[in-house]
Amino acid sequence: MKQVKRILLIAPNGSYRTAAYIKIAKQLGFDCIVGSTGYHAVSDVPGSTIINLDHGSTDLDLERLQKQHSRTPFDGVIATDDSVVEIAAALAKRLHLPGNSVEAVRRTCRKDLLKNALLNSAVLSPSGFEVRLDQPFESQISFSTYPCVAKPLTLSASRGVIRADNPTELKAALARIWRLIQKEGEDKYPIALVERFIPGKEIAVEGLLLNGVLSTLAIFDKPMPLNGPYFEETIYVTPSALSEAEQQEVKTVLSHACQQLELRQGPVHAEFRLNDQGVWIIDIASRSIGGQCSQLIKAGTGVTLEEMIVRNSVGENTKSKVIEKAVGVMMIPVPGSGGILRRIEGLGNAVEVPGVTGVELDARPGQILTPWPEGCAYPGFIFAEAESTDKVVRTLERAHAELKFVYSPSLPVHVVAPTSPSQLFRTDSVRQ
């Protein structure tokens, strides 16, 4: 009788990646146990065993997972998001399962550690320095080359990343980052990284490591200029328009970087810039791509990224297929200055644009939409395919133009001292 393989999926509450992993695990005949983190951990996923990891102690969570392993042994561990890669690595080490060291994945979660690890290597990475955000900026700014980019150590998806063209703009950017990380509860790292701005074409690469060997799954072009002052990503398309020589150089650089970081197992997502000086690494994460971009891999190859990662987690060698047709996704930006969403109009027209394969709107009426650099969630996604990546880009832009975001007015509320019992409370009326 064939033994059923079992994977442990560690995911923060609300991760949009969780359902896709559970679905593919079941399709492959794998058992899937979910270790859910967060204040309100997942309590019910049909057909899955849930382990709530909300003890405020990594050691207690690891102990609970290890006890579960003694009853129903895991064959592999997968971390869905940046916030859980360290506990997944620690557990894999305890259970002697395929994985990375805690130190290696920690380097991919903190930009200062990543920068230091790549320093003095053969890999090109931007020079820069660190600034303590809880101390006066003036005496710490030693940068003489502008433009530069300031970024928080731990936030992902380009949140809090701000370009500055002079010292005044840099100080304003640092103050804004400090407010953001305090709001997000990330002020245990009151540090921003200031780096030289690297001009050039920007791409993203999705890869899989197995026993230290890197397989490149896809190279995504980002056709919309990302020159600042903020760096909200919008369109990804593949296959890349880079020459074969350029693509090979990117793969080689990423492989060297993984070796330098001591990454050996699982998904890798990396951001690069290319210019006359070469291939520059901007960021590396030890998790899969975000923004629903993983759907492009399935559209182009017929195999889901989640399937490749699940098989990889148990040590299976999954061969990626070449992406043959042009596909793309637009991560819909928050329009204007944001606000309280009332409705989104034009969905029917957007779906009917030739070449559009799907439109997913995640934002709901009453939700507050916040643009970058403070924003944290895209309102939705548009998917398209065509004969060329250029046509994919035009299709996505045309569909996006059909969408109209309608915001509710946000008026101030004034509380005044009552002059009579009937005037206990008074507010300005808000018209919807």
Give the per-residue pLDDT at 322. Answer: 66
Does residue 114 form part of some domain?
A: no
The pTM of this model reads: 0.87
**Residue 418 vs residue 64, higher pLDDT:** 64
Does residue 291 form part of some domain?
A: yes
Domain count, the chain: 3
- Cβ–Cβ under 8 Å, residues 266 and 309: yes
d(CA 430, CA 412): 9
pLDDT, average across residues 103-113: 94
C-alpha distance from residue 367 to each of 57, 342, 348, 364, 406 (Å): 32, 8, 21, 6, 12
CA 392 to chain centre: 22
C-alpha distance from residue 53 to each of 61, 73, 106, 310 (Å): 6, 18, 20, 21
Judge if 82 and 136 occupy the same domain: no
Give the per-residue pLDDT at 142. Answer: 72
pLDDT in tens, 391-415: 999 999 999 999 999 999 765 555 5
Lowest-pLDDT range of 18-32, 291-305, 410-424: 410-424
Judge if 213 and 149 occupy the same domain: no
- Cβ–Cβ under 8 Å, residues 89 and 287: no
Give the per-residue pLDDT at 418. Answer: 56
**Residue 18 vs residue 37, higher pLDDT:** 18
Does residue 107 form part of some domain?
A: no
**Residue 215 vs residue 375, higher pLDDT:** 215
- Cβ–Cβ under 8 Å, residues 304 and 20: yes
Does residue 417 form part of some domain?
A: no
Look up the CATH number of the domain holding residue 18: 3.40.50.20
Does residue 327 form part of some domain?
A: yes
Tell me, what amino acid is at 130? E
d(CA 35, CA 77): 10
- Cβ–Cβ under 8 Å, residues 148 and 128: yes
3-state secondary structure of 118: helix
Supply the DSSP symbol for 332. P
pLDDT, average across residues 161-169: 95
Give the per-residue pLDDT at 46. Answer: 54
Judge if 377 and 327 occupy the same domain: yes
Judge if 271 and 379 occupy the same domain: yes
Look up the CATH number of the domain holding residue 154: 3.30.1490
Look up the CATH number of the domain holding residue 267: 3.30.470.20
Print the domain residue range for 42: 6-97
Residue 213, H or E segment? strand 213-221
Judge if 166 and 26 occupy the same domain: no
CB within 8 Å of 364: residues ≥ 6 apart = 341
- Cβ–Cβ under 8 Å, residues 307 and 78: no
d(CA 154, CA 109): 6
Does residue 396 form part of some domain?
A: yes
pLDDT, average across residues 123-129: 90
Domain finish residue from 162, 196, 230: 196
pLDDT in tens, 262-297: 999 999 999 999 999 999 999 999 999 876 777 888
